[in-house]
Structure 1
């Protein structure tokens, strides 16, 4: 496997770690309401567990509210039950046609817990990035032993892999800092 292919595979794996981190962070509550908080909750729909985003339109009419309008009016009670079962810290109001979810103000203690949760996500992402580096370095060693890469090419490839690792770790740090700032805003 040429050095370019090893670098591309490594970068692809690191990019997947960043995408997963962004996905995880979308579910963390900041001071504002976000459809991502509830869209993956599953409700019974004709005997099949279905994600809310497939059953209803989810919008944000105000910073601390979510409005859920089911595509099928008959599914409203199932959606309400699923949200209540999820034990989210929200108040659910049912007007017969839509659900209005009201988010309480976040205390400083809750905000700090959210920040620590986000930091846990960052550690997981960094572990995946370092695993991608380890795998790429193993491939580089194998190619060098197999005579496909010279010693100099192998050393250069490992340097490039390390630089790539540092750049992706800094992307994680930037994303986490931004999310922390959002969480701590009042």
Structure 2
């Protein structure tokens, strides 16, 4: 196989892997019933005038399946952390006991579960769009090469096989996440 074609295939595979990794990262943020420290990963706290991720000013844990505890490294940060959690609009109602912020994660309603499944499907579609964009870019690069028609056709077929393979991965990941969200 032509070296240029091999390079294009490898870079396409890498792009598709990145799309899968991004999808998985985004799906972790979608809540699936039980408490998870990553639910607060988008929370930014005002730390002496600069916006800082919550996990850089405190220790975030899940003592049980329905509770998230946020132990700030400085007690003076408790009100800022509570405000940041409320402002993040995650649907949580933080409480503090003077030592730490405690969040009770309410069980999901059926309606909320359906919304979260929709959100997961939208993320999966974004992943597939990225994969198709990588395919389109690779096909463009193949066409730009000065290679025989047979090599070009085979390369396009290989790229399509890669695309199908990664699209199936997206479907499997989505299926797993849907099951996780809908499990009561």
TM-score bracket, shorter-length normalisation: over 0.9
Q: CA deviation at 1:76?
A: 1.4
RMSD, matched Cα: 1.0
- Separation (CA, whole Å) in 1 of partners of 2:73 and 2:157: 54
Q: Which residue of the partner structure matches residue 48 of structure 1?
A: 50
Q: CA deviation at 1:71?
A: 1.5
**Contact 1:89/1:104, CA 8 A, preserved across alignment:** no
Q: CA deviation at 1:86?
A: 1.6
**Contact 2:16/2:130, CA 8 A, preserved across alignment:** yes
**Contact 2:85/2:92, CA 8 A, preserved across alignment:** no
Counterpart mapping for 1:1-186 below 5 A: 2-143=4-145, 147=146, 149-186=147-184
Q: TM-score, normalised by structure 2?
A: 0.96
Name the count of aligned residue pairs. Answer: 182
- Separation (CA, whole Å) in 2 of partners of 1:88 and 1:25: 15
Structure 1 segments of 4 or more deviating over 4 A? Answer: none
**Contact 2:68/2:102, CA 8 A, preserved across alignment:** yes
For structure 1, the 5+ residue unaligned runs are: none
Q: CA deviation at 1:84?
A: 1.2
Q: CA deviation at 1:3?
A: 0.8
Give SS of 2:42's match.
Answer: coil
